[in-house]
């Protein structure tokens, strides 16, 4: 075999090796490209699922913030779908489905946990088989019974005499309605003071007030207890005052609430509110509960020999109304600084319009924490 033939065979061998190597290299590149493409597709789906999960959580958060305390969403929400073409959420599954979101709202009930009574929102989104989950929890705001305030007893709901004030949102939460101690001669009650107060429990000044008295030392006396609520914005649950008229010379009782602004330049000038007193300043109050009323009491003799008399409930609570005959329950008002809820005067409470939306009041605070 000549030299030229040997060189030709070598060239053929090299060419074959190059073909094999290039084929293998091309196969590797193709597999890498396909894997990379699948990774990109999965990453895209993962990001879409994350976006949907956050959007679903934020939608429920907005509804939670806007709802009154006794109407907060709880449990599993209806599944919501996202239309791929419009990018909008809807309740029914669209033809061009991008993905769906399931949201569960849970109020944590664990006395041994630092998160007790906080609300947890978990949103799970699925996009073409890829699932992502996000979680948010309500911010642990200051409570009215915390050591720094001690406005009331957490277990009994009994109001304490304290001058402690807060400079942030305070949540009033207790196991029983907030009320005055029965038969107690309290010193002057400074009241609750904070820029914003949210009641998650009824303020019921008629709660647990039925008791017996000997008549002779009480003749002609008068008992009045006032709880000042000093805040620029107040969210009430149920509100119940107490009224015991004078009967047969026996003393009367009146337990009431006054709405006041905190010390300083708080509130809205009345000149900026249609129908308000121009020279006065106003705060905002939301009566979120189903009841805003005065509970009437009456005297009843229980034992003639020792002259014991009992004060007891006298019928159903009488709804609180404005001078214009508007019920307070379920409504929102601008309140004039110093308004007495048992004696509401003209221009004390001015109904709110669109500015009464709760979200507008709570958006400046930190309602939730992303986890």
Q: Where are the domains of the chain?
A: 58-138, 142-370
Taking CA atoms, 35 is separated from 43, 71, 177, 344, in Å, by: 12, 49, 63, 73
Q: Please give the structure tokens belonging to residue 291.
A: 């009841």
More confident residue, 13 or 113: 113
pLDDT over 60 (residue 259): yes
What is the DSSP secondary structure assignment for residue 87, as one 8-state letter?
-
31, 112 Cβ separation under 8 angstroms: no
Q: Give the residue-averaged pLDDT of 257-281.
A: 93
Q: DSSP letters along 175-227, please? A: SS-BBPPTT--------EE-SEEEESS-EETTTT--EEEESGGGTT-EEEEEE
Please report which helix (H) or strand (E) contains residue 362, including its range.
Answer: helix 358-362
pTM strictly above 0.75: yes
Q: Give the residue-averaged pLDDT of 339-361.
A: 85
Q: Can you give the pLDDT at residue 97?
A: 86
Q: Can you give the pLDDT at residue 140?
A: 83
pLDDT over 80 (residue 35): no
Q: 128-171 pLDDT, tens per residue?
A: 888 999 999 988 889 999 999 999 999 999 999 888 999 999 99
pLDDT over 90 (residue 90): no
Please calculate the CA angle 179-183-184 and round it to the nearest 5 degrees: 75
Q: Give the residue-averaged pLDDT of 67-85.
A: 86
pLDDT over 80 (residue 11): no
Q: Can you give the pLDDT at residue 129?
A: 86
Phi, psi of 303 (to 5 degrees): -155, 115
């Amino acid at each position: 075999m000549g030299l030229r033939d040997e060189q030709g065979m070598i060239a053929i061998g090299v060419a074959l090796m190059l073909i094999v190597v290039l084929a293998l290299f091309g196969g590797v590149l193709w597999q890498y490209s396909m894997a990379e493409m699948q990774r990109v597709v999965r990453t895209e789906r993962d990001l879409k699922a994350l976006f949907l999960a956050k959007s679903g959580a934020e939608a429920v958060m907005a509804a939670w913030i806007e709802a009154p305390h006794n109407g907060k969403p709880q449990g599993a929400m209806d599944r919501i779908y996202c239309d791929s073409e419009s990018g909008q959420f809807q309740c029914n599954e669209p033809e061009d489905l991008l993905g769906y979101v399931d949201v569960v709202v849970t109020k944590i009930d664990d006395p041994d946990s630092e998160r007790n009574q906080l609300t947890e929102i978990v949103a799970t989104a699925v996009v073409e088989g890829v699932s992502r989950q996000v979680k948010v929890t309500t911010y642990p705001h200051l409570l009215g019974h915390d050591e720094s305030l001690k406005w009331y007893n957490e277990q009994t709901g009994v109001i304490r005499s304290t001058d402690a004030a807060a400079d942030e949102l305070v949540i009033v939460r207790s196991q029983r309605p907030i009320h005055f101690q029965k038969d107690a001669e309290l010193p002057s009650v400074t009241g609750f003071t904070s820029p914003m107060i949210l009641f998650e429990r009824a303020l019921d000044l008629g709660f647990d007030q039925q008791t017996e008295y000997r008549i002779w030392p009480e003749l002609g006396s008068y008992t009045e207890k006032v709880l000042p609520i000093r805040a620029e914005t107040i969210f009430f649950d149920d509100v119940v005052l107490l009224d015991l008229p004078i009967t047969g010379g026996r003393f009367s009782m009146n337990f009431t609430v006054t709405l006041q602004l905190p010390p300083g330049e708080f509130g809205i000038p009345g000149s900026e509110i249609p129908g308000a007193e121009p020279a006065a300043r106003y705060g905002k109050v939301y009566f979120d509960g189903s009841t805003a009323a005065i509970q009437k009491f009456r005297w009843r003799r229980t034992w003639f020999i020792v002259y014991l008399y009992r004060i007891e409930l006298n019928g159903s609570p009488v709804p609180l109304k404005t001078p214009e005959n508007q019920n307070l329950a379920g409504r929102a008002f601008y309140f004039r600084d110093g308004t007495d809820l048992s004696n509401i005067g003209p221009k004390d409470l001015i109904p709110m319009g669109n500015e009464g939306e709760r979200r507008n009041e709570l958006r400046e605070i930190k309602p939730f924490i992303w986890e």
